[in-house]
Every structure is written in C-alpha cells, then in structure tokens.
Amino acid sequence: MTQPKVHFQWVKGLTYQEVWDFQTGIHKQLVERKLQKRDWAESEKNLKDQKNQLIFCEHSPVFTLGKSGSINHLLLTDAELATGHIEFFKINRGGDITYHGPGQITGYPIFDLDEFFTDVHKYVRMIEEAIIQVLALYGLKGERIDSYTGVWLPPNETSDQYRKICAIGVHLSRWVSMHGFAFNINTDLDYFNKIIPCGIVDENKTVTSLAKELGREVPLQEVGEKLVSVFADLFEFELV
C-alpha cells in the first residue's frame, strides 16, 4: 500500500491571522480535491496533486479560544491585551483557551484522514503519542490523563503537580484536519497566568515547558526535527 505524502514546512514571520488563513486555504484545497475525485465526470489525472501538509510555527504572543471554551477563562481586559501586545482570537477548533508564543512549537497537521484512518479519537491519541515519544528522547516521561486531552508530566521529586507540556485542539471537515497542538519548549510560562489554561481549574495541575523540566533551553529547530521524524514514523507517511 502506498504511503500518504506529506509536505513539511516551518512557517515564520507571519501573524496568527495570516497563518490561520494559510492553513484554511490548504484545508479548503484538500477538501475540494476530495470532492472532485468523487465526481466520476472528472478525470483524476487532471486534478492538482494537493499534498497533505504538516506546518510548524513559532507565533507572537496570542491567546486562542476554542468553540467550546468560555471567555471567562481569559483573565485580561481588551486594554490589558493591547498593553501587553497580546492578540486574541476565537477559533473553530475544539477545546478551551490556550496560549501560543515564542519558544513554543505550534503544529498544524492538515491531513486528509481518508488516506490514513477515519477515527478522530485515534488521531488525537497519535498526536499525543508523537509528543510522548519526543519527550522520551529527552529523558522525560509524558503521560495522558483521563478526561483531559494533551500530554502531561507526572508528579516527581521537584513537583507534586501534574504539568501540562502540550495542548491539543483540532477541527475536522470531511475528514480533513486543521489546527493541532502547542508544545512548550522554551515558552515564557508567565503568559499562562493570564488565562485559565484549557479551562482547567485544579490546584493539582499546572503548565510546564521542556526548558523548565530540563533546566536549560533547547533549540526549537532541534526539537522540530525530532518531532517531524516521529510524526512520519507514527502516521506512516512519506515526507516530500
């Protein structure tokens, strides 16, 4: 069986809105290609070969609120957002509020899951597994927690809390995915004090970053290279 093809790229220097528009355009093209392929009047050989995409970004500070989230979980006023030079967007992914910013890999897999598997639960678990495997390469044990999406680090000798290191929120239309995950690498965690991250109110849970756990900064490009390799192995796709 032929492996799906995925084009990987880092996207830099764009605003959140520009990246959102960019991934929305790719998503729309993939959906339109699927509809054309299902039209027997259209010869498949005449269709543009629109590939699946895996996009990594490092955003400027921005809070995004998922369609099931509460605006009350944003703890800043509009004036405070402006003063702090933080953007805010309500978007169409699942989940509640989270933060994207410098030192974080925000990943957008735009996959036609008909080429992989049509199972939303499995898709989210696979993203979690990719993060867990990368954490293992740095000697850290990532875990899942029942009822909470994302990847966590368990309590240890330095912290009695579960610490979320990666948030996940996705949107699918006709089995084509968009949005994705936010993996804290060298992230300024103070921004999470300005929201109720993912809407979770639990004193036993907080957020963390790879740098905080390791006690040193880690090159973003280095983590990104490991992550895309793990994605390719797990999802069994060919990088093009």
Predicted confidence at residue 50, as pLDDT, reads 59
Q: Which two tokens stand for residue 52?
A: 């699946």
Predicted confidence at residue 238, as pLDDT, reads 93
Q: What angle do CA 201, 164, 113 make, to 5 degrees?
A: 110
Find the helix or strand (DSSP H, E) in which 83 lies: helix 78-83
Q: Are 131 and 47 in contact (CB under 8 A)?
A: no
Domains of the chain: 5-239 (3.30.930.10)
Predicted confidence at residue 46, as pLDDT, reads 44
Q: Which two tokens stand for residue 91?
A: 């978007």
Predicted confidence at residue 39, as pLDDT, reads 61
Predicted confidence at residue 130, as pLDDT, reads 98
Q: pLDDT per residue over 64-113, tens digit each?
A: 999 888 999 999 999 999 999 999 999 989 889 999 999 999 999 999 99
Q: What angle do CA 198, 204, 209 make, to 5 degrees?
A: 60
Three-state SS for 76? coil
**Residue 198 annotated among the catalytic residues of the structure:** yes
Q: Are 194 and 75 in contact (CB under 8 A)?
A: yes
Mean pLDDT of 147-173: 93
- What does the H/E/C string look like for 101-158? CCCEEEEEEECEHHHCCCCHHHHHHHHHHHHHHHHHHCCCCCEEECCEEEEEECCECC
Predicted confidence at residue 56, as pLDDT, reads 98
Report which residue type is found at 203.
Answer: E
Q: Which of 94, 186, 208, 204 is closest to 140 using CA atoms?
A: 208
Q: pLDDT per residue over 180-200, tens digit each?
A: 999 999 999 999 999 998 888
Predicted confidence at residue 38, as pLDDT, reads 64
Average pLDDT over the chain reads 91
Predicted confidence at residue 49, as pLDDT, reads 55
Whether 201 has a pLDDT exceeding 50, the answer reads yes
Predicted confidence at residue 41, as pLDDT, reads 46
Find the helix or strand (DSSP H, E) in which 97 lies: strand 97-100
Q: Which of 110, 126, 107 is closest to 184 using CA atoms?
A: 107
Helical spans, DSSP H, in 11-54 = 16-37
What's the rounded Cα separation, in Å, for the pair 43 and 118?
Answer: 25
Name the more confident of 240 and 55: 55
Q: Are 31 and 174 in contact (CB under 8 A)?
A: yes
Three-state SS for 185? coil
Name the more confident of 172 and 43: 172
Predicted confidence at residue 198, as pLDDT, reads 84
CA dihedral 116, 114, 14, 184 (to 10 degrees): -40
Predicted confidence at residue 1, as pLDDT, reads 65
238: DSSP letter: E
Mean pLDDT of 220-233: 97
Marked catalytic residue, from 54, 131, 198, 227: 198
Q: pLDDT per residue over 29-75, tens digit each?
A: 999 888 876 665 454 444 445 589 999 999 999 999 998 889 999 99
Find the helix or strand (DSSP H, E) in which 228 lies: helix 220-235
